[in-house]
Amino acid sequence: MTIEIERRFLLKNNNWRALAGEPETMRQGYLSVEKERTIRVRIIGNRAWLTLKGYISDVARSEFEYEIPLPHAETMMQTMCPFKLEKRRYKIDYRGFVFEIDEYFGENAPLIVAELELPNEDAAFAKPEWLGEEITSDGKFTNAYLSKHPYSEWGGR
């Protein structure tokens, strides 16, 4: 088990794109989208993982992640995951930290969110000029919530 400490932000502009490397396309399906426990299947290329997350705080979650055979993940995604989403993830190294920029597809487009994993909840980090409003405490921006309640259905923010 690990503890994932993560903060999330909207983006002010597209200036981050000049710093981004090649993205990975991710497909995610959810067996559980409860705040207290999330169970996710993630497929990237020809690899797959099963991840269980438990709520600790708005910033921290317990995380158990296991690589699983791709055929198992595909079957789970098709038969057991009622909620799904797809996104493209870019990584940007910025002053000692890695920002992961998620650009969502389908019903969650045109949403783009920056995530930053930290060593502890109070860790200081440099904020790039393209980083916008912090949304860490807004549960609507979690992937689990977005899989069940797509951004396009929110009717504006």
Residue 14 DSSP one-character state: S
Say which residue the tokens 């487009």 belong to. 109
CA distance 106 to 85: 8
State the catalytic residue, choosing from 30, 104, 145, 151: 30
- For the residues of 95-131, what is the DSSP string, one character each? TTEEEEEEEE-GGGTT-EEEEEE-SSTT---PPPTTE
Segments in 4-153 forming alpha helices (H): 70-79, 143-148
Catalytic annotation present for 55: no
Count of H-run helices and E-run strands, the chain: 2, 9
For the annotated catalytic residues, the residue numbers are 30
